[in-house]
Amino acid sequence: MLFNSLSFVYFLPIVILLYYLLPHKFRWVLLLLASYIFYMAWRVEYIFLIIISTLIDYYCSLKMESKETKKEKKKFLILSMFSNLGLLFFFKYFNFFSDSLNNISSSLGLTAEIPMLNYLLPVGISFYTFQTLSYSLDVYHGRQKAEKHLGYFALYVAYFPQLVAGPIERFSRLSPQLKEKHPFTYDNFVNGLRLILYGLFIKMVIADNLSVYVDQIYESPGDFNRLSVAFGLIIYSFQIYCDFHGYSTIAIGCALMMGVKIMDNFKTPYLSKNIGEFWQRWHISLSTWFRDYVYLPLGGNKVKYSLWLRNIFIVFVVSGLWHGANWTFVIWGSLYGFVYLIEKQINSYLKLNTDYKAFSVGHILLSLKTFTLVTLIWVFFRSQNLTQVKELFSALIFNADNLNSLEINPIVYVFFGLFILSDFILYNNRFDRWCAQLSFISRWTIYAVLIFATITFSGIKDFTFIYFQF
């Protein structure tokens, strides 16, 4: 079920109404059933993958907690990780590795081929797999007590606001909130509605309208002049930002209406002064996941320099592979590793002070530099293959100025500009909190504009969210 679908317009109010009408002890049943219905609206049979993952991790966590030594616990951790990563590999990466091995075999003159499998990638599998993995690892290391109540654990795995595209929540943060008795409060309800409205606006008005022009550029870059190609790359940066930020914002809003506070996943990342800060502000739940469960266990920066370089590259390469089963994603992650290290070296060698005040000239210039780098690296993320990458960069550099120009509806510029302005306004803030500080007239003027724009300028087609493919 999509947040931007008519079915969700009916689904959410019913769930929230029943949530506050039911006694507290039955709310977990409602939310679990609602979460499964939410997921099955996409494809019924894949709900069994979530259930299997839930049962295995529930069993393994109880077993790990019952054992005295790490050696005894380890076999249940291995079972949990093998099961979860095995399902993820089979559905997401099997064809990628099969195709890569087949290409290697062909280059060596071998005729044997690994068969390719034809199936649909389960939506959200990377997200809920990482969520359950973090729980198993925390139980294994003694950072988290195993959950005894199967129903509450199943709800943690499948909680519908953040099930298919995050944020990736830790058990220690989300599960206690799911058990709390949340009375209806005006502030939570209204702030949740504000976030949902803003999320729908940036998804349906900004991201969906920009996607039409991005598709034109990526499908036929050779048909457009270099200025149009450059603009196409720029608006893709905003398309993916508004698309994913929109989903996360709606998810936070839905949960907040029921008293549950999900972590912020974006904090104006394109206003970052460097790549390191960008990844502290973009997809925060994933960045912190890799920091806590990959980077720090490898030694973080508490090791010699060569091992630190290795740790950085492992994190960025695995992050790239997490996003998709394609060499373009591996290169995308690797490029971030290179740029991150180069920036670190330059700043260290030149002893540059980048601690500028917000929106000072220095801050703006560094943000433009970061945005330019991110925009160029996004080409590898958006492209289907390396041939398309080559075509995009060739068009960007060599296309003549007398070729076709990208024709964009002027109203798109208006709302695009409004979003960029809002990003500056919301620097280190959040839409619901910012709105709460405004006067009554100002708030309702903003509501009216967002509602009008979302109804009038969003298409009749339900555009799926980009991160559903991951």
Nearest one of 466, 467, 470, 464 to 42, comparing CA atoms: 464
The verdict on 465 and 422 lying in the same domain is: yes
Q: Give a three-class secondary structure readout of the chain.
A: CCCCCHHHHHHHHHHHHHHHHCCHHHHHHHHHHHHHHHHHCCCHHHHHHHHHHHHHHHHHHHHHHHCCCHHHHHHHHHHHHHHHHHHHHHHHHHHHHHHHHHHHHHHCCCCCCCCCCCCCCCCCHHHHHHHHHHHHHHHHCCCCCCCCCHHHHHHHHHCHHHCCCCCCCCHHHHHHHHHCCCCCCHHHHHHHHHHHHHHHHHHHHHHHHHHHHHHHHHHCHHHECHHHHHHHHHHHHHHHHHHHHHHHHHHHHHHHCCCCCCCCCCCCHHHCCCHHHHHHHCCHHHHHHHHHHHHCCCCCCCCCHHHHHHHHHHHHHHHHHHHCCCHHHHHHHHHHHHHHHHHHHHHHHHCCCCCCCCCCHHHHHHHHHHHHHHHHHHHHHHCCCHHHHHHHHHHHHHCCCCCECCCCCHHHHHHHHHHHHHHHHCCCCCHHHHHHCCCHHHHHHHHHHHHHHHHHHCCCCCCCCHHHHC
The verdict on 220 and 111 lying in the same domain is: no
The verdict on 249 and 147 lying in the same domain is: no
**Given the residues 141, 149, 245, 323, the one annotated as active site:** 323
Q: Residue 165's pLDDT is what?
A: 82
Residue 380 tokens, joined = 């590898």
Q: Residue 130's pLDDT is what?
A: 92
**Structural domain tally of the chain?**
2
The verdict on 207 and 67 lying in the same domain is: no
Residue 34 in domain: yes
The verdict on 103 and 241 lying in the same domain is: no
Ramachandran angles phi, psi of 250, nearest 5°? -65, -40
Q: Is 323 a catalytic residue?
A: yes
Q: Which of 181, 216, 242 is the last residue of a domain?
A: 181
The verdict on 191 and 140 lying in the same domain is: no
Q: Which domain covers residue 377, as residue numbers?
A: 187-273+354-469
Q: Residue 279's pLDDT is what?
A: 95
Q: Residue 468's pLDDT is what?
A: 62
Residue 288 in domain: no
Residue 320 in domain: no
Nearest one of 252, 289, 248, 298 to 269, comparing CA atoms: 248
The verdict on 163 and 210 lying in the same domain is: no
The verdict on 177 and 191 lying in the same domain is: no
Task: Report d(CA 362, CA 346) in Å as an integer.
Answer: 16
Q: Residue 361's pLDDT is what?
A: 87
Tens of pLDDT along the chain (470 residues)? 788 888 899 999 999 999 999 999 999 999 999 999 999 988 888 899 999 999 999 999 999 999 888 888 999 999 999 999 998 888 888 777 787 777 777 776 666 677 777 777 788 888 899 999 999 999 999 999 999 999 999 999 999 999 888 799 999 999 999 999 999 999 999 999 999 999 999 999 999 999 999 999 999 998 899 999 999 999 999 999 999 999 999 999 999 999 999 999 999 999 999 999 999 999 999 999 999 999 999 998 899 998 999 999 999 999 999 988 889 999 999 999 999 999 988 887 776 666 777 788 888 999 999 999 999 999 999 999 999 999 999 999 998 877 888 888 888 888 888 899 999 999 989 999 999 999 999 999 999 999 999 998 886 456 666 666 65
Q: Which of 181, 209, 233 is the last residue of a domain?
A: 181
The verdict on 173 and 196 lying in the same domain is: no
Residue 238 tokens, joined = 């905003």
Cβ-based neighbours of 229, under 8 Å, separated by 6 or more: 217, 221, 392, 395, 396, 399
Nearest one of 205, 231, 207, 208 to 218, comparing CA atoms: 231
Residue 332 in domain: no
Q: Residue 405's pLDDT is what?
A: 86
Residue 348 in domain: no
Residue 305 in domain: no
Residue 421 in domain: yes
The residue to which tokens 């993958």 are assigned? 49
Residue 235 in domain: yes
The verdict on 204 and 90 lying in the same domain is: no
The verdict on 250 and 397 lying in the same domain is: yes
The verdict on 177 and 260 lying in the same domain is: no
Residue 207 tokens, joined = 């991201």
Task: Report d(CA 210, CA 236) in Å as an integer.
Answer: 7
Q: Residue 470's pLDDT is what?
A: 58
Nearest one of 389, 390, 364 to 379, comparing CA atoms: 389
State the amino acid at position 35 in one-letter form: S
Task: Report d(CA 5, CA 245) in Å as an integer.
Answer: 17
CA 2 vs CA 40, 156, 247: distances in Å: 11, 20, 10
Q: Which of 158, 181, 204 is the last residue of a domain?
A: 181
